[in-house]
Amino acid sequence: MTMRPMYNTKTFADIFDEYSDFKTEYTTTQKFPMLIDADDTGGKVSNLQILYYLLYSKFGNSPIANFDENQFKTKLGAVIWQYGPTWEKKLKIQADVRALSNAEILKGSTAIYNHAFNPSTEPSTQTLTELEYINDQNVTKYEKSKMDAFGQLYGLLVQDVTDAFLSKFKPLFQQAINYHPYLYESED
């Protein structure tokens, strides 16, 4: 005999017991365009697969806020459609930032200032067209100190983009859990 709480709505895990159910819902049933990577062929882990396991780990046993399961699925799809592409892009940017070498992190910017005396043509101030020749050039090169460079890098890496994204799903689940008294299951 096992004791388990009975909620007045299903939990995330009741609706999406396995990743395949979640993927099928997202790729074939949803009314929203598929905007995040769902290609998990050939052993590749897709962002959709990562999202499922993140949602499962955070909300797996949480009862949904809607009595209508289809409305919950639609709201879930809407959140993925609204915020998923930005989350995916931020993950890519973080991966690129993490892959920078120390030399790239320390590299600063270069500014080049050209000046031409009496050009034969006058460029418009509204264009980015360069003059045909120059008489004078000034170059400013900037290299970051290790402290500045690594401080800037730390600032980029310290932000947890995934937690901010997952917080968008919180309203889809009951905040005050209503459950019925424990029911006992028997194997008989």
Of 38, 150, 169, nearest in space to 105 by CA:
150
187 is written with which tokens? 């194997």
For the cut 90, the answer to whether the pLDDT of residue 124 exceeds it is no
Higher per-residue confidence, 24 vs 129: 24
Of 57, 56, 69, nearest in space to 20 by CA:
56
Q: What percent of the chain has pLDDT over 90?
A: 41
The rounded distance, in Å, linking the Cα atoms of 152 and 34 is: 34
pLDDT at 148: 87
Reported as a single tens digit per residue, the pLDDT across 9-28 is 899 999 999 999 999 999 88
User: Furthest-apart CA pair in the chain: how many Å?
Assistant: 99
For the cut 60, the answer to whether the pLDDT of residue 3 exceeds it is no
Reported as a single tens digit per residue, the pLDDT across 63-111 is 999 999 999 999 999 999 999 999 999 999 888 988 989 888 888 888 8
For the cut 80, the answer to whether the pLDDT of residue 46 exceeds it is yes
pLDDT at 184: 59
pLDDT at 14: 93
37 is written with which tokens? 């990577």
148 is written with which tokens? 């500045």
Spell out the domain ranges in the chain: 2-109+160-185
* Residues 80-112 as b or e (16 or more Cβ within 10 Å = b): bbebbeebbeebeebeeeeeeeeeeebeeeeee
Q: Is the pTM of this model over 0.85?
A: no
For the cut 80, the answer to whether the pLDDT of residue 116 exceeds it is no
pLDDT at 165: 95
Reported as a single tens digit per residue, the pLDDT across 130-186 is 767 777 888 888 888 889 888 888 887 877 789 999 999 999 998 865 555 555 566
Average pLDDT rounded to a whole number, residues 37-57: 93
